[in-house]
Chains A and B, each alone.
Chain A
Amino acid sequence: MWFSIKLPRYYPLEHTWKWIKEKGVPSQGWYGMQAFAFLAAGIVTLIIYLILKHYNSAEAHLKPALTKVLGVAVTLILITCMIYMLYHEFDKWGVFSSIGL
């Protein structure tokens, strides 16, 4: 990964949370990543919502052409991110090499 953020990890055998990743001890970073991702997304969404609310009335509508462009752009970004996730994990865990790629 080209950047990383320290997040809490759950250690199921010890029933505890730690900020460090201990080698050889099974732990789960997924919960911390989820909390961080949804919190960050929620904050960004709230900020954009408040900005748009400040500059536009509730009745204001996007132009149809702009709506279409936004739809296509969001779709492309989503697909790109999903493919990157797949590539990253498949590469990391040897899925590609296991099927001879």
Chain B
Amino acid sequence: MVFLENFYRVLLLAHLFATFVLVGSMTHNLLCVIGYIRGKFGRQKLEWLYVKVSLWAYLIVYVIGALIYPAYRIHIRHEYFDPQLPWATGLFEVKEHWGAVGLGLFFVFYFLRRSFKPAEEKEKLFLYVPLCFILNVILWYKIVIGCYLTLLKGCW
């Protein structure tokens, strides 16, 4: 018996639902941040709310992902991906490494945003805007690859 394997499907669904919240809030955040580039600063409060929601959603997604990883490692990766579709493991490994980078970046993103007002300290946008874009790249890679791998083999 592998750790939490009986709850794998439920946790995988929870992982997916939390990811919906995360991608939704971060994509909306990106739209607000694109507004900053164009000199539009009317949605700062809403954008700050998206940052807070995203941070919590990311933490939840990360913890659930870490909990279901042992069952995935045995029943999906070891039994199917590694012997038959090793390239799928490659896609997954990048997802995990970028996910870990994303966790660190999310804290930087959160504390940076908390420390400044975009309309008043525009020079800090030189870090804030790229961070937002990079986090969105990480998240969209994670959700697209995660869904694709689940289509290949979601459970056993």
Contact = CB atoms under 8 A, between A and B. Distances in A.
B114 interface: no
Interface string B1-36: 011000000000000000000000000000000000
Interface of B is mostly: helix
A37 B123 CA distance: 29
A15 B2 CA distance: 8
Interface string B44-80: 0000000000000000000000100111011001100
A96 B125 CA distance: 35
Interface in A71-97: 71-72, 74-75, 78-79, 81-82, 85-86, 89-90, 92-95
B94 interface: yes
B74 A26 contact: yes
B126 interface: yes
Nearest to B130: A75
Interface string B90-131: 110110111011011100000000000000000111111011
A89 B98 CA distance: 11
Interface residues of B, number: 35
Residue of B70, B73, B90, B104 most packed against chain A (CB within 10 A): B90
Given A89-B93, A93-B89, A82 B98 contact: yes
Nearest to A11: B70
Contact of B101 (A70, A75, A81, A89): A81
Interface of B: 2-3, 66, 69-71, 73-74, 77-78, 86-87, 89-91, 93-94, 96-98, 100-101, 103-105, 123-128, 130-131, 134, 138
24 contacts: A12-B2, A12-B3, A13-B74, A26-B77, A30-B69, A30-B96, A34-B100, A37-B100, A41-B104, A65-B123, A68-B126, A71-B123, A71-B126, A85-B94, A86-B94, A86-B98, A89-B94, A89-B97, A90-B90, A92-B93, A93-B87, A93-B90, A93-B93, A98-B87
Interface of A: 10, 12-13, 15, 26, 28, 30-31, 33-34, 37-38, 41, 64-65, 67-68, 70-72, 74-75, 78-79, 81-82, 85-86, 89-90, 92-95, 98
